């Protein structure tokens, strides 16, 4: 028995460096209608757990997100950076299928950003989408009654004609958020950025190969290959459970339980985010 105990101790000493992996997969934000996206509230415990082990070689972020809420993107990224600085642990971000818009905002929390050659990366911009149903209620014989206090409370109402002042106000909001996004990119990428900022910050997106040329990512490579090359074949890769949830899970109503119609609409909303990038 003593020999067995000694062997176990020797094996423990031979164990390689530890890297924890936080999965950040899905649309970012909580938008109702059955959608369960990535939020700081849902991810905070997993992020803390990832930074908790002693003698941690690194924390890896496995990112597969088409974006979403800029607020939640910023909160999650800043939380990761705060713990990385507090624990003095490097963070390696890995772009999988897509790290675009808010997904790229999350990737910027990494000290290094890795991508596959075919990953979709970038989309540094702000988007608002909606529909106009002007005249629809009248054709259906329905009278809409809305009463407000405040002359702009019905701004961008889909059942009313679009107003120039409303669009102008929306643009000021988008421009403000866009400036924050661009400032975060400059803060995190610095002199690694190459190319004209008018192109980089235009909202365009690129393949991993193109993103490497533009300085939006540092290297090409997948999570397991990069970690083994960096820390050796004995590296221990420990995944930490995080939120997200996919299309099937939402339709089945696991977790939060809105009715079926809300789950379907929420799933369609998420699908539209992914469709922008051909996924």
Q: Which tens digit of pLDDT belongs to each residue from 14-37?
A: 579 999 999 999 999 875 544 568
pLDDT band at 274 (very low <50, low <70, confident <90, very high): low
CB of 24 closer than 8 Å to CB of 245: no
**Helix, strand, coil percent content, the chain, rounded in steps of 5:** 45, 15, 40
Average pLDDT for 120-130: 80
In a domain, residue 141? The reply is no
Structural domain count of the chain: 1
Q: Which domain holds residue 22?
A: 17-128+191-275
pLDDT averaged over the chain?
Answer: 81
- In CATH, what number is assigned to the domain containing residue 98? 3.90.226.10
Query: pLDDT tens digits, residue range 141-161?
Result: 676 767 777 666 666 666 677
In a domain, residue 2? The reply is no
Residues 6+ apart with CB under 8 A from 111: 84, 90, 91, 92
In a domain, residue 10? The reply is no
């Amino acid at each position: 028995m003593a020999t067995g105990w000694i062997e176990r101790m020797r094996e423990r000493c031979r164990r390689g460096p530890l890297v924890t992996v936080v999965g950040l997969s899905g649309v970012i934000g909580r938008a109702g209608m059955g959608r369960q996206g990535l939020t700081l509230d849902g991810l905070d415990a997993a992020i803390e757990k990832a930074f908790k082990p002693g003698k941690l070689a690194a924390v890896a972020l496995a990112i597969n997100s088409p974006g979403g809420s800029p607020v939640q993107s910023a909160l999650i990224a800043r939380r990761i950076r705060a713990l990385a600085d507090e624990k003095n642990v490097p963070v390696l971000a890995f772009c999988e299928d897509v790290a675009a818009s808010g997904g790229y905002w999350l990737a910027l929390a990494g000290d290094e950003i890795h991508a596959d050659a075919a990953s979709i990366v970038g989309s540094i911009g702000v988007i608002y989408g909606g529909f106009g149903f002007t005249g629809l209620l009248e054709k259906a014989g329905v009278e809409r009654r809305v009463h407000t206090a405040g002359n702009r409370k019905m701004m961008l109402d889909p059942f009313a004609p679009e107003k120039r002042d409303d669009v102008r106000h929306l643009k000021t909001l988008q421009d403000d958020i866009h400036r924050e996004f661009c400032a975060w990119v400059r803060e995190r990428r610095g002199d690694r950025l190459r190319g004209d900022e008018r192109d980089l910050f235009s909202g365009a997106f690129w393949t991993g190969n193109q993103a490497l040329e533009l300085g939006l990512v540092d290297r090409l490579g997948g999570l397991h290959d990069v970690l083994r090359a960096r820390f050796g074949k004995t590296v221990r890769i420990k995944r930490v459970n995080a939120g997200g949830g996919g299309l099937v899970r939402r339709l089945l109503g696991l977790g939060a339980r809105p009715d079926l119609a809300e789950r379907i609409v929420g799933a369609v909303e998420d699908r539209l985010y992914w469709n922008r990038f051909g996924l």
